[in-house]
Amino acid sequence: MSELRKDPIGGRWVVFSSGHNKGPGDFPSTLKERSGEPYDRSCPFCRGNEHYTDHEIFRIPDPAGWLVRCVPNHFPALAVENVLQKKGDGIYDCMAGVGAHEIIIDTPNHSQVMAALSHHHFQQVLNTYRQRILDLSRDLRLQYALIFKNHGRNAGQMLPHSHSQLIALPFIPRRVQSEIDATARYLQFKDRYLFDDIMQQELTDGSRVFDQTANFVALCPYAPRFPFEVWILPKVHNPRFETLDDAGTAELAGLFRATLQRINRALNFPAYNLMLHNAPMHLPPRMDEWVASYHWHFELIPKITRMAGFELGSGCYINPTLPEQAAAFLRGIDPEE
C-alpha cells in the first residue's frame, strides 16, 4: 500500500508508493571513485599550486605543508567587502550582496575523496568547518553560515578536486527558518524540544538508525525527501555545531566517515550533496529562545533520483524507498571492508 508521511521538522509531506518501491540495486551508479595521480599541475586546489588561489584564509598544517586549506571563492556569490544596504523597490525588497563565500579544500591530494580520508584527516576537515563558523560569527552583519559539499558532477561539483564550500548570509535562509519555527512551536505547545523527542523515539524504535556512537547517531529520517537520505546529529540537545570540542569532532569524524563508506558500498559510489544545518550566528533578542530549541545536524542526500513536476509544483516528494528499508540495508554493510 502507498503511505503518506509528514516530516515534523520541515512540515512537508512525502509519498511512499508500493508500486515504485526500490532497493539499492535499482539505482544506477552515478559516480565512480577517482583514481590516478595525486597531483594535477593545472588544478588550483593541489598542494604546490597555492599561487592559483586567492589569499589563504585558514589552514591545518602538516609536515608536507597543509592538510586542509580555506581560500575565498574566486567567483564569489557574495562578498564581505560590500556594504550592507537594504532598500525597497516598489513592493519588493533588496539589499547589497554582503556575505562570504569560501572554499574549504578537504585534501591536498587531487585523487582523494572525502570517504577515503584517514580518521585524523576527516576530523581536521570538521575542525575547519567549526573554526570558519566561529571566525565569521565575529561579523555582526552575517546571520547564517551554510557549509555544504557537492560531490560529483550530478551533485553540482564543478572542479574534480574534493572540496566543501561555506556561504555566509545576512539573513536566515527560509529552509532553516522553517525548521527553527517548527522547533519553537513544539517547545511552546509541549514544553519539550522537538529534536529531543525525535532522538528518544528513533533510538528506542531503532528501525531507522543504522549506526551510532556514545554521543552521535546516523539515521534515515522518518519522512525523507529522497531515497537513502541520511541525517547525522548529536544525541544530546545542541543548537550549535561550532561548540563541539576536539573530542567531539574526533568521535563525530569516525561516524561520519563510516557513513560515507556505507553509502558508497550501498549505492556504488553515488554523487551526493552534504549540508550542515546549524543555529544562526546573530539574532534579535526575541528569537533567542526559539533558536535554543534548534538542533544542529548534517543532511546527506545521494543524487540517485531527480525532482520532477510533482515535487516542483507541490513542494511534496515521492520517495521510492522507505527509510526503514534503507537503514536496514546500511546496517548490514561493514564500512571497513
| Whole-number Å distance between alpha carbons of 106 and 7 | 32
CB 291 within 8 A of CB 277: no
Cα separation of the two ends of the chain: 36
| Whole-number Å distance between alpha carbons of 271 and 265 | 13
As annotated, the active-site residues are 163
12-39 b/e with 16+ CB inside 10 Å = b?
bebbbeeeeebebeebeebbeeeeeeee
| Whole-number Å distance between alpha carbons of 326 and 197 | 22
Between vectors from CA 187 to CA 183 and to CA 191, what angle results, nearest 5°? 155
| Whole-number Å distance between alpha carbons of 275 and 307 | 18
Residue 60: strand, helix, or coil? strand
Cα dihedral across residues 209, 123, 157, 336: positive or negative:
negative
| Whole-number Å distance between alpha carbons of 115 and 93 | 42
| Whole-number Å distance between alpha carbons of 85 and 95 | 5
| Whole-number Å distance between alpha carbons of 249 and 120 | 10
For residue 41 the three cell numbers come to: 599541475
CB 20 within 8 A of CB 206: no
